[in-house]
């Protein structure tokens, strides 16, 4: 494993993270997942790659939609957990560092790649985007969510907005399950550059707004998310 993967993979915090992300009022559940699910194409019978599958939320969703799913994560513990939780002839699981070439994935083999809140853990996107371009079908889509660079700046308060570096952050405190994560902050420049340089076509880049339903059920997160940036949604196409 690369140094990156050692620092950012979830092996050391697998249980805590799963507990965190599965909380009904986690940002994953209230904000990111509703937005992403609203953007996913028809998946029935499709070959889907869930890259950085973590808790397996999208893996499970796409299996239910009757897709064939390949799920990859750097954490052996998360992969082991998914292997015991989800039994399906339509599911393939791999433990691998996605910042490196993935020869176990066939070229031109996926109709849709879901890359949810994983690129923040990867420093060099150029190599990864090349590899994903190789494995996606012509006409296939790569659907990405990341932390918005403006949101990271306001949250982490680095010396410079342009800092591109690994940071340590504390999550889960409000659920009484505090743990540390490591991810990269980078300016918008370092989001656009590799995407524009890649062979993909840009279908959309959107600042995720919360679902209107959140206004009633969770007014505080709703207010926060309509006042300041949260996550960024990116759809690319081969």
| Site residues, other proteins (CB under 8 A) | 150, 153, 159-162, 187-189, 192-193, 196, 202-207, 209, 226-229
Rounded to whole angstroms, how far apart are CA atoms 174 and 183? 20
CB of 159 to other proteins, least distance (A): 7
> For other proteins, which is the closer residue by CB, 30 or 135?
30
> For other proteins, which is the closer residue by CB, 150 or 179?
150
CB of 193 to other proteins, least distance (A): 8
The residue whose two tokens read 């790569």 is: 142
State the sign of the Cα–Cα–Cα–Cα dihedral 23, 77, 95, 11: positive
CB of 154 to other proteins, least distance (A): 9
> For other proteins, which is the closer residue by CB, 170 or 220?
220
Rounded to whole angstroms, how far apart are CA atoms 215 and 9? 34
**In the numeric block, which tokens belong to residue 57?**
């939320």
CB of 203 to other proteins, least distance (A): 7
**Residues in a beta bridge with 94:** 72
CB of 150 to other proteins, least distance (A): 5
Question: Taking Cα atoms as reference points, which of 105, 131, 125, 8 lies closest to residue 49?
Answer: 105
Rounded to whole angstroms, how far apart are CA atoms 11 and 76? 7
Q: How far apart are the first and last CA of the chain?
A: 29
> For other proteins, which is the closer residue by CB, 159 or 170?
159
- Strand positions, DSSP E, 107-200: 110-116, 136-147, 165-171, 179-185
> For other proteins, which is the closer residue by CB, 66 or 228?
228
CB of 149 to other proteins, least distance (A): 8
Q: What is the DSSP letter of 184?
A: E
> For other proteins, which is the closer residue by CB, 220 or 227?
227
Contacts of residue 19, defined as CB under 8 A and 6 or more positions apart, other chains included, come to: 172, 175, 177
CB of 43 to other proteins, least distance (A): 24
198, 215 Cβ separation under 8 angstroms: no
> For other proteins, which is the closer residue by CB, 127 or 188?
188
Rounded to whole angstroms, how far apart are CA atoms 172 and 58? 21
């Amino acid at each position: 494993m690369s140094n990156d993967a050692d620092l950012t993979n979830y092996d050391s915090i697998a249980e805590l993270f799963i507990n965190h992300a599965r909380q009904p009022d986690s940002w994953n559940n209230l904000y990111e997942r509703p937005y992403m699910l609203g953007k996913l194409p028809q998946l029935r019978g499709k070959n889907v790659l869930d890259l950085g599958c973590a808790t397996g939320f999208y893996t499970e969703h796409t299996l239910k939609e009757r897709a064939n799913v390949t799920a990859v994560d750097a954490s052996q513990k998360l992969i082991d957990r998914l292997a015991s939780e989800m039994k399906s002839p339509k599911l393939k699981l791999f433990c691998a560092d996605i910042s490196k070439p993935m020869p176990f994935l066939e070229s031109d083999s996926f109709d849709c790649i879901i890359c949810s809140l994983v690129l923040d853990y990867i420093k060099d996107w150029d190599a990864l985007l090349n590899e994903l371009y190789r494995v996606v079908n012509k006409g296939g889509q790569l659907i990405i969510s990341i932390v918005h660079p403006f949101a990271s700046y306001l949250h982490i308060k680095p010396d410079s907005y342009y800092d591109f570096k690994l940071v340590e952050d504390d999550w889960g405190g409000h659920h009484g399950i505090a743990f540390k994560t490591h991810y990269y902050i980078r300016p918008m420049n370092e989001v656009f550059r590799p995407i524009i340089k890649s062979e993909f076509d840009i279908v959309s880049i959107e600042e995720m707004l919360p679902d209107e339903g959140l206004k009633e059920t969770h007014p505080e997160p709703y207010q926060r998310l309509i006042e300041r940036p949260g996550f960024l949604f990116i759809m690319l196409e081969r």
